[in-house]
Chain A
């Protein structure tokens, strides 16, 4: 009996020691999982951009996990903010209270980002905003958690008025949505246009879900401005351009970067021809890693295209993972390290944050729809004079 007991104890001891060894070994082999949140508009009128951003974050994580040199295994949790501030606050609260999430790429819509910066700060959750460009998102505070690699609305609202005035346009009618995004853009656009000597004949603030623009556009037709400038997102931009066409408003359509999307050209078809907008950052094909991003994105066969802003989400996810590799998956350390970022290489170019978390390397371009696609103005037939914009002064 004693011998049997001894043998049993030995067997238990052996199995226990073996289990311990296996567990220790596997912990060395398996990498620690690190979760990044993607919070964006996955449903609603701007979801084509939000889904492109989500896929681009997913692509960055897949490529990073395939690299054997990484210390961690990364994963993404996607949360829908519906481009609505109240839903955005709920989404960030959910991400902030989940301690497995160490950082976030968040928000296409500025109105949402402006509502959530305080929530990110409260939870100490570092974020790099996807493409929310209202200057106040970074400039109105010094929260160390908040960062932005895309240029703010200030840059595009400087080059836009100057460009249009150079072409000879003199009179404008402005339609802006009454969200924080629309009003913030309008503030900078109006100031710069007045500085450039342009004249705003009328300005119309509209709710972000307005369907009917016929009364406003009839008023604009009566005022007969050379340019109708739209400061909102693609859904409203599409409605205004469509209803301009129906009412015979022949002013040149111009817009801020919120309207720039493939949905605009897809929904409007030939009506979109000659429409103007702004793009922040350099064209992908001018960026060293731009073509590689497009090629890798295509290889994954996502259901949705990356759209015009997907490479920003890709750059932001990579930036976060670079920082995590350096300081570990700790919210406070990540936020601190992000603040120290200087001349960091990304797919969109070098990133250096100022003391508000805003990337100081910021460029903007004028874009024009030519044959159903947004292209940079300088490369278009409009720039070469082969095609003409509407109401272009001689």
Chain B
């Protein structure tokens, strides 16, 4: 195998890993703060991609045609819309159900996912059809010896990595992060110390959903196509990645994302007849890991969550 092909596998795997990790970190944040599994998160990712596309179409109609400006405004619009969606979900759906059995919240978020998915299918113009997503990044390649790297892939990987680093800094180095960690560790004590619990939960949902918006945007730019059902499997994969890595730990979520993408890539190319069963292979390995390490690859004490 030539080094160019090897790097190609690596870049493809890393792109997948980054999308999975961005979604998985959202799952981990929600679980860390509220002990809930937000099953609509995959569909939130899909809405992010559609908001970005709608923004692009609006900007084009308004005569804005500079790709950098378009991309910047699409990112802002998508993050803002999904942060708002996250805040509304937390305030009016999740928080009122605090104290209800965990199964009820699980069901409620699953139903929210269906509503989001069907709303895009029914109300977005021709929402049932796959949509072409604009290619706004440079498509040329950088040649390093035998290796050829596409500039758009480098930008997307860099942007995704920077996003994850920013979230890590937000959680570990800011007052908001401190409040989120405090709520995650002990809700009652955090309240006693004067932390506005409701506000922290809403902001956590805003951050998690904003990450899904970025993942949706990157997915659209990478594949140049989006569709209303793209979040369905991704939600399950993101959740599995979070569980495998260690639910409640953002580094675990990132590790889970990388692991899942790696397993899918190996399943698709290295196993005989593997391409048809790459998801079966990846999920089977995840089951084995869950049996071996029930609390995830990076075990998290309740006092170290998020």
The 0/1 profile, CB within 8 Å of A marked 1, for residues 261-274 of chain B is: 00011001100010
Considering the chains assembled together, what is the distance between the CA atoms of A212 and B121 in angstroms? 21
- CB-CB under 8 A from B211, the residues of chain A are none
- CB-CB under 8 A from B275, the residues of chain A are 204-206, 216
Chain B contacts with A in 122-162, Cβ cutoff 8 A? 128-130, 132, 139, 141, 148, 150
Segment at the interface with A among B10-18, B79-87, B178-186, B190-198: B10-18
Q: A204-B275, A206-B275, A267-B132 are in contact. Are A239 and B225 (CB under 8 A)?
A: yes
- By the criterion CB–CB under 8 Å, are A218 and B12 in contact? yes
Chain B contacts with A in 233-282, Cβ cutoff 8 A? 233, 264-265, 268-269, 273, 275-276, 278-279
Chain B positions near chain A (C-beta within 8 angstroms): 1-2, 5, 8-9, 12-13, 15-16, 121, 128-130, 132, 139, 141, 148, 150, 223-225, 227, 229-230, 233, 264-265, 268-269, 273, 275-276, 278-279
- By the criterion CB–CB under 8 Å, are A215 and B269 in contact? yes
Q: How far is the CB of A7 from chain B (nearest CB, A)?
A: 62
- CB-CB under 8 A from A205, the residues of chain B are 273, 275-276
Secondary structure of the B contact surface, majority rule: helix
- By the criterion CB–CB under 8 Å, are B130 and A45 in contact? yes
Secondary structure of the A contact surface, majority rule: helix
Query: Which residue of the partner chain A has the closest CB to B229?
Result: A209
Considering the chains assembled together, what is the distance between the CA atoms of A298 and B223 in angstroms? 35
Task: List 30 contacting pairs A-B, 8 Å CB cutoff, sorted by A.
Answer: A43-B129, A45-B129, A47-B129, A178-B276, A204-B275, A205-B273, A205-B276, A207-B279, A209-B229, A211-B223, A211-B230, A212-B12, A212-B223, A214-B16, A215-B268, A216-B275, A218-B9, A218-B12, A218-B269, A221-B8, A222-B1, A222-B2, A222-B5, A238-B130, A238-B225, A242-B223, A243-B223, A246-B139, A247-B12, A248-B148
- By the criterion CB–CB under 8 Å, are B13 and A215 in contact? yes
- CB-CB under 8 A from A242, the residues of chain B are 223-225
Query: Which residue of the partner chain A has the closest CB to B1?
Result: A222
Query: Which residue of the partner chain B has the closest CB to A48?
Result: B129
- CB-CB under 8 A from B15, the residues of chain A are 214
Q: How far is the CB of B51 from chain A (nearest CB, A)?
A: 19
Considering the chains assembled together, what is the distance between the CA atoms of A172 and B115 in angstroms? 43
- Which single member of B8, B130, B276 contacts A247 (CB below 8 Å)? B8
Considering the chains assembled together, what is the distance between the CA atoms of A222 and B265 in angstroms? 15
Chain A contacts with B in 193-244, Cβ cutoff 8 A? 204-207, 209, 211-212, 214-216, 218-219, 221-222, 235, 238-239, 242-243
Q: How far is the CB of B291 from chain A (nearest CB, A)?
A: 26
Chain A contacts with B in 159-197, Cβ cutoff 8 A? 178
Q: How far is the CB of A119 from chain B (nearest CB, A)?
A: 24
Residue A345, interface by CB 8 Å? no
Residue A288, interface by CB 8 Å? no
Residue A270, interface by CB 8 Å? no
Q: A44-B128, A47-B129, A246-B150 are in contact. Are A215 and B223 (CB under 8 A)?
A: no
Q: How far is the CB of A81 from chain B (nearest CB, A)?
A: 13
Chain A positions near chain B (C-beta within 8 angstroms): 43-45, 47-48, 178, 204-207, 209, 211-212, 214-216, 218-219, 221-222, 235, 238-239, 242-243, 246-248, 267
- CB-CB under 8 A from A178, the residues of chain B are 276
- Which single member of B5, B150, B223 contacts A239 (CB below 8 Å)? B223
- By the criterion CB–CB under 8 Å, are A215 and B130 in contact? no
- By the criterion CB–CB under 8 Å, are A214 and B12 in contact? yes
- Which single member of A45, A47, A48, A215 contacts B9 (CB below 8 Å)? A215
- By the criterion CB–CB under 8 Å, are B269 and A47 in contact? no
Considering the chains assembled together, what is the distance between the CA atoms of A44 and B132 in angstroms? 14
Considering the chains assembled together, what is the distance between the CA atoms of A221 and B7 in angstroms? 12
- By the criterion CB–CB under 8 Å, are B5 and A218 in contact? yes
- CB-CB under 8 A from B265, the residues of chain A are 215
- CB-CB under 8 A from B150, the residues of chain A are 246
Q: A214-B15, A216-B268 are in contact. Are A47 and B128 (CB under 8 A)?
A: yes
Q: How far is the CB of A324 from chain B (nearest CB, A)?
A: 32
Query: Which residue of the partner chain A has the closest CB to B132?
Result: A267
Considering the chains assembled together, what is the distance between the CA atoms of A79 and B117 in angstroms? 21
- By the criterion CB–CB under 8 Å, are B8 and A43 in contact? no
- CB-CB under 8 A from A216, the residues of chain B are 268-269, 275
Considering the chains assembled together, what is the distance between the CA atoms of A68 and B241 in angstroms? 66
Considering the chains assembled together, what is the distance between the CA atoms of A244 and B8 in angstroms? 12
Q: A207-B276, A246-B150, A267-B132 are in contact. Are A212 and B16 (CB under 8 A)?
A: yes
